Structure 1
């Protein structure tokens, strides 16, 4: 018996599953052959369902033109597919893109088709990275079909007019209906959310590359600071990571500057005008009680794991040794100093220019409680371990220690944005374990979009440390890992009580309860 499967290609807007009308009970039916046909149809339908469901299978523009997701001329409400736009032979660049057909087809659309360009600096925001967020963009764009195009490092420093010119012929193939009867496809773009920008300094370092210090006001900033209509933030940006905002600080009015202005109120009108223009900047200072990064808040909240030890140190007057690898703008060490006055902080920064910018623009300062060492962070830990061995002659220390790795990587080829790969390799992890001696916390700010790389890091930490915890931030790509060589100082049996203890110690407000709900034990 020979089976013939007939398929008719129509102009359907979506890929449909194949229905079988085979009667297996018929006398002529060979069950072995029929089973094989039904199995083949089942496999085909699995593929078709995966294409129709919007799963993240990257297609090419050619796949779409050949009907991989149905007829492109037809709007299919709720259709969403990722694909690669552009090829070497047909365009200057390739682009990751998402085709979205509005869920509800109404008569209120402004555009039959639109292109929305997302710069790399904003590609990981929920609004653009998640399916739910993308549908919000479709709704606000008022387009029946929206083609969302994501820029990456390949498009850095390319004029936007060149990008649009390169995209124009590509998106024409994705236009629904009759293009000759429709208006030209508009290009829309997500800005960086900055309403006002004032660049204070641009600098280039041999170690870090180009850096920018700027004051910004965001489009959605709320609240006010005295006579300031909107909140202003100061940012340190590393150019090597496509405009990575390395640090962000809140600016507030300096009451001492306001007093100085009052003393000069009898000056001439001209002098007052000149002084107020200059004083508008002088009257602002960095608020060191503010944490601009949610992962920094996560690090503070994770100290609940050792809250009892911190409380004992605070009561006895003993200082808790805390080492931070990576200074940035110095906002986190300054917050730590003010928030937990009983910690002794040593910061290790490789780049002297980064330290100079932190002091000049972000109010970073050193004293007996907070010191900075210029040099390699790994070598600092190794030297500290060697020094401790020579002093203690191998005897264990009774003091709790905290080691925080908060460094970004200049080499993204490893799949790690933070930290550099050598900070999560076995030799350094072993030294970190020795550094903590009998206990304490080893904290890593981990940023990797590769699940395999993330699992590799976790696996290495598990092999070295007896206890491992993770705090995954929902609104961010950062994950904070907490490791400890022993349970000596850990408050793992009653975290609720530990959270209360930590909050009693903190001098600045931190939403510890919300963060701790996301804490998971990995080992």
Structure 2
């Protein structure tokens, strides 16, 4: 039995989290300009072999054509990226997605270093899909035929990347492989392309950890190296900063009475975009904790993070540090006006991207509460199913006064905000400053939990 035949035979049954890649003769070489196709198959990590299909909910197999030129991008060439795609598309499918098949040109033996989006393929896509149907049916699990010949829908991957150049690939002891890349993106609100530098981790390739703008009108090496720092590009970071308005009067009072800047602890540094913004634009004293020393090096070399009197970063396990604070007896000499949590789970199979499950524990929440001032605030970036968000909210309600939520507008990131002594929903100098920089959108979309 040939290797391809053996692979297809082995796919007759569904096995949770099984990932398989093989090549197959292209039934229509002219459509993708290659004699062989790379086929990647992933069975859902959430599929239960004990669950029996029904006519109303048979196991659904779907397929997706990998964009030309991005075959070696981690999004399409790794099990981590494949898993994130499955989770993303599962929400838009009519039935539970049990198997996702990626079909693309064979991957280059050279490292993925650049990409330019080709012109629109046009009607050739539908012809390719028809020619691939026999292969897709052969790769469907046997259970998909229990109620007739299955339909295999083709899903579409769309992002705003027009061109991409890899600046550096490296690896850290905690997050593993990572890539710094310069991209041009197309924004629906503007015809002009926008240049950005961004950081991605292989363990979560579909998630952009950090991105900053690269000005068009500069060509000097320093501008290309550092981009525009101190300004927020990612919407959820703007929503996190907006959450500070809930304690605006308290922050104003601290400045007027002590002359000191309010102090913010950031768990998770990434490229440092949020930290730089809080320090340079909102005039806060910022302390960052990052688990991976290589990530910190990248943030300084490529994203313009600069330490100084009011911005300090440290290497350490932020979750463990905060959890230990909850076990101490003595009060701290230094307490924080705000703790901002921007940590990813590193494992898409959990169904939750942020925060990691290690953070959503009573002992960690208690440590965070203990480290905050009397009028402090805990701000958390949440990318998780509703059940996880509800559990987190339950933990917070046990220790905090009021809870708020901001939808960042991308249907993925929600910012959850917990206050230690209730929010003062009134105007303040700090709130006016935030509105002048970020605008009113996130303030107006803030929702209070009345539970």
Q: Give the TM-score normalised by the residue count of structure 1.
A: 0.58
Residue 319 of structure 1, CA deviation:
1.6
Structure 1 residues 521, 379: closer, same or farther in 2, change over 3 A? same
Matched, 1:441 2:441: no
Paired residues in the alignment total 352
1:458-508 Cα offsets, whole Å, 9 max, x none, are 111111222222223342312211112323xx31xxx3x33x643423396
Matched, 1:456 2:396: no
Number of the residue aligned with 1:328: 270
Out of 349, 354, 358, which is 2:299 matched to?
Answer: 358
Structure 1 residues 242, 173: closer, same or farther in 2, change over 3 A? farther
More helix by share: 1
Residue 122 of structure 1, CA deviation:
6.2
For residues 210 and 167 of structure 1, what CA distance do their matches in structure 2 show? 32
Equivalence map 1:180-219=2 (5 Å): 189-219=156-186
Number of the residue aligned with 1:511: 439
Number of the residue aligned with 1:475: 410
Equivalence map 1:399-418=2 (5 Å): 401-418=337-354
Equivalence map 1:27-46=2 (5 Å): none
**1:348 is paired with a residue of what secondary structure?**
strand
Q: Give the TM-score normalised by the residue count of structure 2.
A: 0.66
Number of the residue aligned with 2:77: none
Equivalence map 1:50-449=2 (5 Å): 68=55, 84-86=59-61, 95=62, 160=104, 166-169=135-138, 173=149, 189-220=156-187, 223=190, 230-253=193-216, 283=224, 285-316=226-257, 317-341=259-283, 343-381=284-322, 389=330, 401-449=337-385
Structure 1 residues 471, 85: closer, same or farther in 2, change over 3 A? same
Larger radius of gyration: 1
Kept in 2: contact 1:83–1:96 (CA 8 A) = no
CA RMSD of aligned residues (A): 4.0
Residue 335 of structure 1, CA deviation:
1.1
**1:365 is paired with a residue of what secondary structure?**
coil
User: Taking CA–CA contacts closer than 8 Å with sequence separation of 6 or more, which of the two structures ends up with the larger relative contact order?
Assistant: 2
Residue 345 of structure 1, CA deviation:
0.4
Listed as ranges, the gaps of 5+ residues in structure 2 are 1-47, 65-80, 107-128
Listed as ranges, the gaps of 5+ residues in structure 1 are 1-57, 70-81, 87-94, 98-117, 135-146, 176-184, 259-278
**2:264 is paired with a residue of what secondary structure?**
strand
Kept in 1: contact 2:325–2:370 (CA 8 A) = no
More strand by share: 2
